[in-house]
Structure 1
């Protein structure tokens, strides 16, 4: 006759008591191990949708994209855009730092060392980026056919202000000559 295996009573009681906690932990583990394209997938989707990423693109590419956008607005007509940068985007890197203190009664010394953290992928080493600051725009000049209509000028100003953060007093809109 074959003996059937049964779970010990103390394990069954513990499982019954903590089954929801175990379920949440298992779900967290599954989500943590789930393969994701994460940043690269989102970045590729944004590039496909708009052609370029707003934060990563060169100012002239942003100008072209902004001009295409403004041309689609009612009453704008032909348009050209010029953006000026106060400061481009900057990458902030991760550093390991260590401090060594030497001292006695008469003297005290402190030495701090900072070392750039690098990661190796596919045989190439690259620094670990902690954060990337967005570019800071200084001003914009827009030439368009519809600049004589105050409603069009307001719409253009609001669009540029919302996309770049440039204040209204640093946006100049003029009529394009024929």
Structure 2
């Protein structure tokens, strides 16, 4: 039997119209993929910016707490230099106003005609803030500050058990953290 030889096609057989249609379809597919790719990149960028802002806010919050604690502890009798490190369990949290959804069902019976009437009423309320441009956001009821996971305090004078206990108690009272999440250490070079 004879072998089949593949047929070679030239541009005249395909036709210029078909080539143009194929090229246009290819361009449309490329543009569609480009717009999806662009949207994916912009979403990733927005998420990174949001995480960066949140991290910066957490760092500023922790830094402010550490500075306040250092300032207070340096003024305690028996305590010299102080260094503090605070870690967080979570970031700042916003509590939003929840939507109210209420549903009522009522039934009425008429004895003479033995006819039943059912009524369903639905009521929903949403609290959303809008600006003049038309942007809207949920209503924030309150904001919860980040929860503290642990505190390390390194200070001069911590070798004295009374001073160390005072420092530990001060941190407990200020931050509401249990004693097993606070560690008071003797600062290196302290006499």
TM-score, normalization: structure 1? 0.54
Deviations 1:13-70 (A, max 9, x none): xxxxxxxxxxxxxxxxxxxxxxxxxxxxxxxxxxxxxxxxxxxx61121111111111
Q: Which runs of 5+ in 2 are unaligned?
A: 1-59, 105-121
Paired residues of 1:95 and 1:117 also in contact (CA < 8 A): no
Instruction: Give the conservation status (yes or no) of the 8 Å contact 1:77–1:146.
Output: yes
- CA shift for structure 1 position 127: 3.8
Counterpart-to-counterpart distance in 2, 1:128 and 1:159: 36
After superposition, the C-alpha distances for 1:117-159 in whole angstroms (9 at most, x for unaligned) are 2154899865422122233211110111111011111111111
Q: How many residues align?
A: 119
Q: C-alpha separation between the residues in 1 aligned to 2:138 and 2:85?
A: 33
Matches for 1:152-167 after TM superposition, within 5 Å: 152-167=163-178
Q: Which runs of 5+ in 1 are unaligned?
A: 1-56, 102-110
Q: Distance in 2 between matches of 1:121 and 1:93?
A: 21
Distance 1:70 1:58, change over 3 A: same
Whether the 8 Å contact between 1:119 and 1:128 is mirrored in structure 2 is no
Q: Is the 8 A contact 1:93 1:116 kept in 2?
A: no
Say which of 60, 83, 86 aligns to 1:83: 86
